[in-house]
Amino acid sequence: MAKQAGMGDRLWVGAYNISGDIGSIQQISGGPAAMDVTDITQSGFGRVGGLRNGTINFTSWFDKAAGAAHPVLSALPTADTLMSYGRGAVIGSAMASMVAKQIDYAGTRGNDGTFTLNVGGQSNAYGLEWGQQLTAGDRTDTTGTNGASLDGTASSSDGAQFYTHLSALTGTNVILTVQDSADNAAWANLSGGAFTSMTAIGWQRLAVTGTVRRYLRIVSSGTFTSATFVVNAVRNVTAVVF
Amino acid sequence: MNVKAIFGRVESAAMRTGKFARVQRHETKSAPGAEVVMDLMATGLRGINASGLAATTVRFEITGRIYKPFLSEPQDDIDPALMDAGIATFIELASDFELGGEVRNIDIRGAYGSPLDLRAGYITIEKSIFRTADLIIPMIVNDVLPEAP
């Protein structure tokens, strides 16, 4: 695939897709901190990976509608939230997710009448992780559904992490389960790959160990007439420790 | 984006001033009469950086051209009449800068281009010269162009 622009992107915070209110994203960064362990025999810096970190900074427009940027971001929760950026919104689109503390909701009102708000997120516990969307942006199911699959090109053996934002639910509950397959035909629940049953909008992070076969899909079940959600799959290509 | 509704709101704002004998939503094809009148015309539209992540917000411009015959008497009252009508229209627009919800805002201060603007000039129609004042009315409209690859 050729170089891409950043149009048609998405941003989720907690249980809300606030993409339409986000003017720009200044930073999506993460990874291990570089620890200097240079010794006197070296002519260049020696470094080892330290603590995992993550940052997402963005600028929001002011929108006071229910479920829009202002009510979501002005709450300034002390508890964790989940921030996810989607580079596009098709199955397989890159997606970065981060369990985060929201830092500030800082407004600037310019002389020209514009009003923007700067928001920062800093990771808590896991750092920022890049994966791929298992749904085409937000997916809305009206009944239990076997979703379309994502081809990971090969099986892997170092486990995976999954993130979900549930932004709408009509009904009693929805259970999202990750299934894998070797051939995109015979499917089985991924061991440990079921999100906890959700009875209201919210978010979750899930980690599984061991083998993750080539193809993945999200299956919804539960008692509902409508459930809207997005899932990010982070397949580990090497052993990870959190 | 409801272009017809936006034109309607601008027209209504102009008529509320009481300064115009008539306001119409097209450029005149014949010479206007002796009174102060205005024609509304679309000037252009472009995408701007006031957008969200997945849809482009646009800036839509309407020009309101005010006419008065160049040889009206008393001649000292020609420009004041045009300016009064233009300023009164701007006051009406600024006091309803979302045009009843049809737009995000009128770009009064030019956050995304030139601001509300009023420029005097002349035009000849059917061999009659008119003194004119063009009102440039820029408006920001949310999420007009959804984006997908």
Band (A241; pLDDT cuts 50, 70, 90): confident
Enter the ipTM.
0.85
B95 in reach of chain A (CB within 8 A) = no
Q: Which of B50, B53, B56 sits opposite A19 (nearest CB)?
A: B53
Per run of 10 residues, the mean pLDDT along chain B (length 149 residues) is 97 97 96 96 96 95 97 96 97 96 96 96 96 97 94
With the CA atoms of A140, A142, A144 and A150 taken in that order, what torsion angle do they form, in degrees rounded to the nearest 10? -30
A2 in reach of chain B (CB within 8 A) = no
- Best probe of the A interface among B53, B57, B105, by most A CBs < 10 A, is B53
- Rounded-to-integer distance, Cα A124 and Cα A97, Å: 12
pLDDT at A2: 86
Full-model pTM? 0.91
Establish, for the pair of chains A and B, how many residue pairs have beta carbons separated by less than 8 Å.
50
Percent of chain A with pLDDT over 90: 94
CA separation (Å) from A233 to A84, A173, A207? 12, 22, 10
The tens digit of pLDDT for each residue in A31-84 reads 999 999 999 999 999 999 999 999 999 999 999 999 999 999 999 999 999 999
A111 in reach of chain B (CB within 8 A) = yes
Q: How many CB atoms lie within 10 A of CB A37?
A: 11
The tens digit of pLDDT for each residue in A193-216 reads 999 999 999 999 999 999 999 999
Q: Over 80: is that where the pLDDT of A1 sits?
A: no
3-class SS string, A169-188 = EEEEEEEEEEEEECCCCCCE
The helix or strand, by DSSP H or E, that contains position B124, with its residue range, turns out to be strand B117-125
Q: Which residue of A has its CA nearest to B110?
A: A112
pLDDT at A242: 84
Quote the mean pLDDT of chain A.
96
